[in-house]
């Protein structure tokens, strides 16, 4: 048996404002009988002071959620009843509002503890650990996220990151992040469409906040730009250099695989190409810059460059782009170096880069990237795996956004 004083129990279990009458320990639970500390002074109906005791009400069991030694805490609330001599009406004293609301069967602290558990667990696992139903968890989650705890937009100039991520098979969702002056997730949009984007921005950002957005970092897709220019009239687009390098790597891989499969290579040329080994494949090696290549890797790459010169041109173009981002001191210098890179590009890629060259060069104004947004996507993937799938679009957004809520917002503040 555990022995606790009244003050220790009240502080430990956040039961300020009530009286602890008795603590009973069973094999799996602690049952704590609690009650109101004082007699009411007025009638609930007519506010008369002429009241008398009128028996006791039905005992009410509340799940408190805190575990001590692996045992669940249950509160037994047995309220007193009173009667008004003036209006002849009776009533039972309800538990304090900071403890429980209405006819709920669990305390507010229990529900907040469940939300902290839900941050890194699925609904099913949270249900097993806390004893709360799926419906209750959904209600508490919606109640918290409807207060928009992530939307703390600071003053001053703003830089946003907007990108798409895979929600489910064949479905995309949109991620909206704040890159400058702070780094934080602002929200998730369950569909990657212009209608949903406009709806979200208008619902969550005021016009004054929107005109303070000076930069929007995005990938190379052409979608949403027209709508974003209308929503954020003073913002300029910055094409993220991570996606540019990824696109160039894709061109290299396509060229290499096409030549291997459909190219008119002679038997002698095919014999020069390296055979498949247990190490990194040729495509993976071509993704790299050569800094970490071994001598064996360099021999493989040289053989590929000799047999397929076009792959060598694309690889050197990609490395030149990396050097531009690493070495250029101004936008004008980067523009001149990009002109040479464009001469090495295939027709479609050259047209794409020429159209978006100003967005590419806007990086050199403030060195803004989508690195934080990509980090958010990594965490989203982890949260999706922990959640074992989320079919409902509202649950998808609220459950994943919960993973980014500061823990301080999920700590209960009990007052008398």
On the question of pLDDT at 28 being above 90, the answer is no
Q: How far is CA 98 from the centre of its chain?
A: 29
Write the pLDDT tens digit of every residue in 336-359: 999 999 998 888 889 989 999 999
On the question of pLDDT at 415 being above 50, the answer is no
Burial track 172-194 (b if 16+ CB lie within 10 A, e otherwise): ebbbbbbbbeeebbbbbbbbbeb
Q: What pLDDT was estimated at residue 1?
A: 46
Report the mean per-residue pLDDT for the chain.
87
Span 354-371, average pLDDT: 92
Span 221-248, average pLDDT: 90
- Confidence class of residue 17 from pLDDT cuts 50, 70 and 90? confident
CA distance 315 to 344: 10
DSSP 275: P
User: Residue 83 pairs with which residues in a beta bridge?
Assistant: 52, 90
Map out the domains of the chain with their CATH numbers: 6-105 (no CATH), 116-240+369-416 (3.30.420), 254-366 (no CATH)
Write the pLDDT tens digit of every residue in 71-128: 888 988 888 888 888 898 888 888 888 888 888 888 888 898 899 999 999 999 999 8
Are 339 and 333 in contact, with CB atoms under 8 Å apart? Answer: no
- DSSP output for 139-191: HHHHHHHTT-TT----SS-EEEEEEEEEEETTEEEEEEEEEESS-EEEEEESS
Write the pLDDT tens digit of every residue in 58-71: 888 889 877 777 78
Q: Report the percent of the chain where pLDDT is more than 90.
A: 48
- 317 phi and psi, to 5 degrees? -65, -45
Span 225-232, average pLDDT: 92
- 75 phi and psi, to 5 degrees? -100, 135
């Amino acid at each position: 048996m555990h022995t606790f004083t009244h003050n220790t129990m009240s502080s430990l279990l956040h039961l300020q404002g009530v009286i602890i009458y008795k603590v009973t320990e069973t094999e799996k639970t602690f049952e704590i009988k609690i009650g109101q500390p004082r007699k009411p002074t007025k009638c609930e109906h007519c506010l008369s002071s002429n009241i008398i005791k009128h028996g006791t009400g039905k005992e009410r069991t509340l799940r408190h959620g805190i575990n001590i030694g692996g045992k669940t805490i249950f509160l037994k609330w047995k309220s007193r009843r009173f009667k008004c001599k003036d209006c002849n009406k009776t009533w039972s004293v309800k538990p304090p509002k900071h403890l429980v609301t209405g006819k709920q069967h669990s305390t507010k602290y229990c529900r907040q503890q469940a939300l902290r558990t839900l941050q890194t667990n699925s609904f099913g696992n949270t249900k097993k650990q806390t004893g709360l139903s799926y419906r209750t968890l959904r209600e508490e989650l919606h109640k918290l996220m409807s207060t928009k705890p992530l939307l703390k937009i600071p003053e001053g100039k703003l830089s946003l990151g907007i990108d798409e991520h895979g929600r489910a098979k064949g479905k995309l969702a949109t991620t909206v992040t704040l890159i400058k002056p702070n780094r934080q997730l602002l929200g998730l949009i369950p569909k990657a469409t212009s209608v949903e984007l406009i709806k979200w921005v208008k619902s969550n950002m005021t016009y004054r906040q929107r005109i303070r957005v000076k930069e929007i970092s995005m990938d190379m897709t052409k979608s949403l730009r027209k709508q974003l220019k209308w929503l954020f009239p003073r913002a300029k687009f910055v094409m993220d250099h991570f996606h540019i390098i990824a696109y160039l790597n894709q061109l290299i891989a396509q060229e290499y695989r096409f030549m291997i499969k459909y190219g008119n290579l002679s038997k002698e040329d095919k014999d020069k190409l390296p055979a498949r080994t247990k190490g990194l494949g040729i495509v993976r090696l071509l993704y790299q810059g050569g800094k970490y290549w071994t001598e064996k890797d360099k021999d493989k790459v040289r053989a590929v460059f000799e047999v397929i010169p076009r792959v060598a041109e694309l690889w050197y173009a990609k490395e030149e782009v990396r050097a531009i981002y690493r070495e250029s001191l101004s936008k004008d210098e980067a523009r001149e170096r990009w002109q040479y890179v464009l001469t090495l590009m295939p027709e479609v890629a050259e047209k794409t880069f020429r159209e978006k060259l100003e967005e590419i060069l806007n990086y050199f104004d403030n060195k803004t990237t989508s690195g934080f947004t990509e980090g958010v996507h990594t965490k989203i993937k982890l949260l999706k795996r922990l959640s074992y799938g989320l079919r409902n679009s509202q649950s998808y957004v609220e459950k994943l956004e919960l993973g980014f809520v500061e823990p301080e917002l999920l700590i209960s503040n009990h007052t008398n």
